[in-house]
Structure formats: structure tokens, C-alpha cells
Amino acid sequence: MAHRRVQFQLGVVLAFALARGFVAAAQTADQAWLPQHHGYLRTEIPYAVRALGPGLLERSAAQELFRGIEDLTAASSYLGDSNLNGQTIVGTAREVRTAFPKLEIPNDLGPDEYWFKQTQYKGRALLVVAGGDERGAIYGVFSLLRSVYLSETLLYAGHRERPAMPIRWVDEWDNPDGIVERGYAGRSIFFEGGNVRNDLAPVSEYARLLASVGINGVNVNNVNAAPQLLDADHIRQLARIADAMRPWGVRLALSVDVASPQKIGGLATYDPLDPSVRAWWTAKANEIFALIPDFAGFTVKADSEGQPGPASYGRTPADAANTLAAALEPHGGVVLYRAFVYNHHLDWRDPKADRARAAYDIFHPLDGKFAANVVVQIKEGPIDFQAEEPVSPLFAGLEKTNAAMELQITQEYTGQQRHLVYLAPMWKEVLDFDLRAEGRSTPVKEIIAGSSFKRTLGGMVGVASVGRDGWLGSPLALANLYAFGRLAWDPNLSPETIATEWTRQTVSTDPEVVGTVVKMLMQSWPAYVNYTGPLGMQTLTDITGSHYGPNIEASENNGWGQWHRADHLGVGMDRTVATGTGFVGQYPPDVARIYESLATTPDDLLTFFHHVPYTYKLHDGKTVIQYIYDSHYEGAEQAAELGREWATLEGKIDQKLYQDMHGRLVYQAGHAVVWRDAIVQYFLKLSGIPDEMGRAGHYPGRLEAEDAKLTGYKIIDVTPWEDASGGKAVACAEKSCTAEWTWHGPAGRFNIAVQYFDLQGGVAKFTLDINGHPAATWTADATLPSRRPNGDNSTRYTVHNLDLKHGDLLRIEGTPDCPDQAALDYIEVTPVPPQS
Ligand code: GCV
């Protein structure tokens, strides 16, 4: 086989052999978007690959290039003869110039920048990948392989790229015990039982995956930081993580608890201005850098959600940030100080209280007071990763301070990876949003890249919270991680382009498949907004608990401040300057003018900025209440459509992937109905205004469990009431229970959807039988939040194509498995459309 003849030099053979070792490990980067023996390409790439320098990163780059070429050509016996004499080299620009003095290469490549080109040198083919530094060489290799794989014609023309912003990090919210906060893909790849895991092969693979899209830093522990990670033993352990990621140019960062000097240092205080505290941090930084010379820096969550902070001593975030920054500065480290600082004990009766104001109120007055190696890390919206929020005004409020944008890749408020929600379109809206600071064009992407206010530092941080279960749990959720990296590298890319790239690398290159998957990805966020919280209401979920299923009042009457202020007359928070909380006034005047006026506020953010009656008319003349009904019916239908689109791919894509996503999308369609019904019946009851289309409160074919003939089952009230049809369900405290209905409809062929509650902690069993003949049996074995029946775990199982006639007996038997009481909400009998 031709590819066996590949020459490989400078010790890369060894690195390659090691790489194969971890490719064989359980969790690999190849499970995401990196090539997996496509082997179809007839490549002209010279297959003698070598790194010019001895550096670790360059070796990874050469190894990756070799692996990529081999992978792309594995099934091909063709390697053009001319290639036998050619070579592919990887190195820094300086090394390339020394090795090939006559070659014309750009002389101004910056950090992380790369250039590649296939040319002739002294009559032989030469493919050069040159980096402004070693990391640039790695990025160049990944970009080269991607462009070859995607058949872009960049090789001969030559191609040069540099990242838009220097900080491109992911944050992991991993606790030392192995639990990942807001992680939906299993346990930590970094920690277990209070320590760093022995097996760090997945960490190396993760770093490789991140490097392939240009991510250069990983903050490995939860921002609700565990101080013990800063003791000497743990720093030694953390150095192993840094070692595992270093070959890919990915640097380690750590979340720190600002009270560490007291909690683990034995000091009487953690006042950031106290000399003993400053000395403690300096010594700690020295200790870290002695073991991890390329340590990236600290992330800080302070004075927020119970975390200690400088406010305890009357000090400011700048005081705390600068103390840490001074300790890191001699070593080149940075402090990412989170602007997510707010009082979660707000007085909800106070119409002027407003959590959205907090970040700007606290940080804007400190503009210019932060050290040069401090970056203020600002969540994209003023609340907290909601399905839809306006852009944080703080991006425009820090002109003399470095800023980074924090967004969430893990889908805490956006379906927790059980729902397909491609977030790039939302992020892109934020990146492109023009805040018009100083009355000129200042889109967020330019502010965080540093160009708007001439800052040298800045960037994007994505909370990834990956785990051991396929990185993000759901295969299509990986498109979000990919998109994060691509946008941090180039925020001008379109979400659709990114989705296409990802799909072609991951799912298939078949244009029909690509078209379908990209369409699904692009539809998914608008669909989710439609069935969860439209018009700027935020995600109408259980905000003090799971952040998953519907729970509309959970936002109200508590100090957390995620209020939507819905009452029987209207909905929304008045945040105007004229009559509301004044939040609108935090935006630069050109933007504030738009949000201050009802007439110019875009519909999709209406209730974020204004309290309006349900009868208020949107720009197209539809009333708010009708929009609430319509968008929820439309959203649930869009969710069902995602499943139908995926179904067209059966047989055209990998069967395992097909099955996995099929199950998820069926579940999503069912859960979207739960969301739809909860919000629609809630607002119907609250407003008393009927749905013009007659759908709200009417469910054709629905047979409530509480109306059935029950044996063993007892009627229960579901909390919150809107999470069950009519607020009630039935639960079984016996060995088994039944609910029986008589079919009074016409004869025909039907689908029967059974809506039940799949509680945590037990695997209940259900059987549907018709006239005593079993039609289906299934188990409630999903892992969903909550041990009480509610919208977190309300689940739909549909039995298709059942022939029914008048008088038939439909019976569900539920067998509980403590604590899962095989609770049932309803069954819904729908005629099968004639064509199916
Ligand atoms: C790590 C939200 C999440 C918390 C998270 C917090 C933060 O409130 O629900 O889990 O804490 O944001 O970003 O600090």
C-alpha cells in the first residue's frame, strides 16, 4: 500500500506511535469532528512529512499532518509520482526561512498565525506550513487538513490566517469529586475522588480536539472553586493536566477562590489589599509557575451566588483582580475576572430592583482601574445564558479595560443536550450586535477582539463542561463546541458555513445529508425559543432548580431576579429609564433610544424591556397573548419537524449515529409538547383570553389519566400545576396499577401517545394493551431531573398504527420501581394521516 511508504522524520515516528495509542483509548477526538479514516482523497500532498524544529508543539503538528494525510488517503492506492520527490514541512516562519532561504514567505506572521502553501522548491514539490510561532504551526496543520478535506482550493494559492482575538478558552465547571456542574455528558475527564484522574488520555484528546479549532486555553475547574486545588499536592497533580494538553498548545488555567489565603493559607484575612494576602498570592503563583511554566492564569468568581469576595472587606473587584494580577504578571499569566457579580437576595417587591443592572453598575465605575493583565469576563447577556436575552451593555461600558465574552456551550438553559439546539446563530447575533459606543460602530466582536478600544487582550470563553460520555453527550451538540472555536477564531464566519463545515467533517459529505443536517441545526434555536420563552421572557424554567423543564412562576417572588413579572393583565419588566429600572440607560444612547421606546424595541426582546398588556399589538399587529399561543404551537411543530427531517437520513449515515439522534429527537418532540402545553395553559388561565385559533385548553383525542377507570392509581396534583394536563396526574403506590379508558371515537388507524413521568432513581415499567392484548411495553429508564412528577421528567411514548373501533378498551398498566411511581398524565389518540 502506498501510504506505508510515508517517510517520517525527526522523532515524529515515536510521537505518532504514541498518538495511535491514545486514539485506541475509549474517548477520542475522532469521535467529534476530526477525520476518521475517510480515505477517499486523491491527494497531491507530498507525503514525506517533517517538522523543522525539535519543539513539542511542532512535533504534534507534524504528527497530526502525517496522520491526516494517511487518513485522507488510506483507501487510495494513488500517490502521484511527482510526490515521491516532494516534501511537506512544518515549522515556525523563522525555521522555514533558515531551511529554505529562497522561498518567499510572509515575514510578519504574528502569534498563533499561520501560512501554508504548496509550491516547487529546486524542482521538487514542497508543501510548507509555517506558524508565527509553534502554536501557529499546529493551527496551520489543522486548517490545511480541513481545507483539503472540504476540497477548498487553498493549497496552491497559499493561505494565511490569524485569530481575531488572543483569548480563546473553554471553561470546565468540574469539581474535584468528578461531578461537572451543569455538565450533561457524565463525569469529569479531569478529576475523580478529590484528585486529578490517573488516566489523562482523554485530556490529551480533548486538547487535540480544541486545538483543531484554535482554542488555546482550558480552565479546568468550576468557578465555584474548591480551594484545595491550590495546595502543593494538587498543584503537582494539575501539572500533569498541563503536560497532557501542552503538546497541542492548550494552556491550563484555574478558577480560584479569593478566600484561599484564609481557607488554605492559614491567614487571618483574605483582604486583597492586605500585604500578607498579596504575598500569599505571589508565593502561590511562583509555586504554580515552577511546575507549570506556561500556566495561563486564574478565573475568578467572587461576591456572586455565595462565593466570597472583596466586598467582605469593602474592596472592589479591581482590588481583588489586581492583587492576583500582580502575582501572575512576572510570569505572563492573566486574570479573567467574571462580571457575573450580583445580589441574589434582591427585593422582588421593589419595582426598581433589577439583576440585569448589576454587572454594569459594579464594573463600569471601575473602568481603567484594572491592571493590564486583567480581563473582565462578561456573560453575553445581562442575566444568565437564557435562550434569548439582549446583549450585555457592559461590553460598551469598559473602554479602558480588557474584556472577554463568556458564553455557554453546555446547554444549561437551552435543553441540556437532550434538545438539539445549535447555538451559533444566537452567539453570532451577539457578536455582530453594534453597541455604538461613542456614537460610532462598535460591534461586540470588535470590542472583545480589542480593536474598538485599542486593547491588547480580549477574547471569548465558552463554558463547555464536557464529560466522559462523548464529550457533550449528544453527537449533534458537538457542533456547538466546534462553532465556538471557529467563531472565536473568526467571528465573521456565518453559523451556516460553520454548520456545513462541521456536518461535512462529522456526519457525511453527501450534499443531501449535509443540506438536511444544516437545515436542522439552523432551525433548532428559533424552535427552542418558540416553545420555551419567546418575546424576551427568558427561558421560563425552574430557575432555582433544574433549569430544564417549564416552571413559569419559579422566576417570581424570589431574590434571584430572573423576573418576567407576568400577572393577569400583562407580562414583562419595565426596564426603561422613564418609568422602569433604568437598565436601558446603561446602553450607549443610539441603542438606548431603540429599547426605551415600545415602538422601536424588537418584538423578540419586548418583554425584557417593557411590561405590556396581553392585548398589546406586536409589529405585525398580532397581540402578545396570541403570539404566546402561536409561537408555542409553532415551536412544538418545528421540534417535531426536526425528527422528521432526521428520519430521511436513515440508511444514508452511520446507523449508530442515526439511532442515537433519532431517540433524542423523538424525546425532544415530546418534551416540546410538554413545554407548549405548560406555557399555553398557564397564560390562558392567567390572562383569561382565549386562543383565536381555538387550540389553547383543547386537546383533541386526549384522555386524561384522572378521568380513567383507575385500579390502584391515585390522583395527584402536579407541581407546578401547568406541567400536567389540567394540573393533575395519577401515581401508583402499589405493586402495579392500571388506568382504563373506553374508546368512543370512530373506527380507524391511530397513534397513541402516552404521557408519563420518568422519575429519577427507579425504572418503572408501562404496558399499553387494547382489549387485553398487549400493544407495547416500555421502561421509564431515562436520566431526567427530579424525583417528583413535573415538566422536567414528563415524557411521551408513542405507539404507532393501532387499529381501534368504538368501544375498545385502552389500558395502561404501570409497574413502579421506587421512587418512580409510574405516574401518568394522559393518553392522546390521533388518527394516522391517510398517506402514512
Ligand atoms: C458555576 C448560573 C449557573 C451556575 C453557575 C453560575 C455561574 O447561575 O446556574 O451553575 O455556577 O451561573 O456562571 O457562576
C-alpha cell belonging to residue 629: 399561543
Task: Give percent of the chain with pLDDT exceeding 90.
Answer: 89
**Residue 836's pLDDT band (cuts 50, 70, 90):** low
Closest-CA residue, ligand 1 atom 11, reads: 224
C-alpha cell belonging to residue 497: 458555513
Dist. CA 591 → ligand 1 center (Å):
28
Residues serving a catalytic function are 305, 384, 412
Q: In ligand 1, which atom is closest to the CA atom of 463?
A: 13
Residue in 256, 300, 305, 410 to alter for ligand 1 test, most ligand atoms within 8 A of Cβ: 305
User: What average pLDDT does the segment 340-350 reach?
Assistant: 95
Dist. CA 650 → ligand 1 center (Å):
38
**Residue 179's pLDDT band (cuts 50, 70, 90):** very high
Mean residue pLDDT of the chain comes to 93
Q: In ligand 1, which atom is closest to the CA atom of 173?
A: 1
In this prediction, residue 760 carries a pLDDT of: 93
Q: Which one-letter amino acid corresponds to residue 571?
A: V
pLDDT of residue 538 exceeding 50, the answer is yes
Q: Which helix (H) or strand (E) holds 168?
A: strand 167-171
H/E/C letters for each residue in 45-88? CCCCEEECCCCHHHHHHHHHHHHHHHHHHCCCCCCCHHHHCCEE
Q: In ligand 1, which atom is closest to the CA atom of 301?
A: 14
Nearest alpha-carbon partner for 385 in 501, 459, 446, 465: 465
**Ligand 1 pocket member 301 (CB < 6 A):** yes
Give residue-wise pLDDT tens across range 74-112. 644 344 444 446 899 999 999 999 999 999 999 999 999
User: What average pLDDT does the segment 705-721 reach?
Assistant: 98
**Ligand 1 pocket member 384 (CB < 6 A):** yes
User: Do residues 218 and 239 make contact, with C-beta atoms less than 8 angstroms apart?
Assistant: no
Give residue-wise pLDDT tens across range 441-481. 999 999 999 999 999 999 999 999 999 999 999 999 999 99
Nearest alpha-carbon partner for 414 in 671, 725, 647, 679: 671
**Ligand 1 pocket member 181 (CB < 6 A):** yes
**Ligand 1 pocket member 223 (CB < 6 A):** yes
Q: In ligand 1, which atom is closest to the CA atom of 304?
A: 14
User: Do residues 791 and 549 make contact, with C-beta atoms less than 8 angstroms apart?
Assistant: yes
Task: Give percent of the chain with pLDDT exceeding 70.
Answer: 94
Give residue-wise pLDDT tens across range 544-583. 999 999 999 999 999 999 999 999 999 999 999 999 999 9
What is the per-residue DSSP string for 725-762?
GGGEEEEE-SS-EEEEEE--S-SEEEEEEEEEE--TT-
Higher pLDDT, 478 or 125: 478
In this prediction, residue 19 carries a pLDDT of: 33
Q: In ligand 1, which atom is closest to the CA atom of 547?
A: 9
CB crowding 518-547: b at 16 or more within 10 Å, else e:
bebbebbbbbbbbbbbbbbbbbbbbbeebb
User: What average pLDDT does the segment 21-31 reach?
Assistant: 55
pLDDT of residue 36 exceeding 80, the answer is no
**Residue 10's pLDDT band (cuts 50, 70, 90):** very low
Return the bridge partners of 223, or none.
none
User: What average pLDDT does the segment 629-639 reach?
Assistant: 98
Least confident range from 49-53, 65-69, 317-321, 554-558: namely 65-69
Give residue-wise pLDDT tens across range 655-676. 999 999 999 999 999 999 999 9
CB crowding 455-479: b at 16 or more within 10 Å, else e:
bebbbbbbbbbbbbebbbbbbbbbb
Dist. CA 412 → ligand 1 center (Å):
9
Q: How many CB atoms lie within 10 A of CB 167?
A: 28
Long-range contacts of 271-275 (CB under 8 A, 24+ apart): 271/310, 271/312, 271/313, 271/315, 272/310, 272/313, 272/315, 272/319, 272/320, 272/322, 272/323, 272/324, 273/313, 273/315, 273/319, 273/323
User: What average pLDDT does the segment 699-711 reach?
Assistant: 97
In this prediction, residue 149 carries a pLDDT of: 86
Dist. CA 413 → ligand 1 center (Å):
11
* pTM exceeding 0.85: yes
Peptide bond connecting 293 to the previous residue in cis, omega within 30 degrees of 0:
no
Least confident range from 83-87, 399-403, 724-728: namely 83-87
**Ligand 1 pocket member 355 (CB < 6 A):** no
**Ligand 1 pocket member 179 (CB < 6 A):** no
Dist. CA 673 → ligand 1 center (Å):
28
End-to-end CA distance of the chain: 49
| Radius of gyration of the chain, Cα coordinates, nearest whole angstrom | 28
Q: Give the three-class secondary structure for 358.
A: helix
**Ligand 1 pocket member 340 (CB < 6 A):** yes
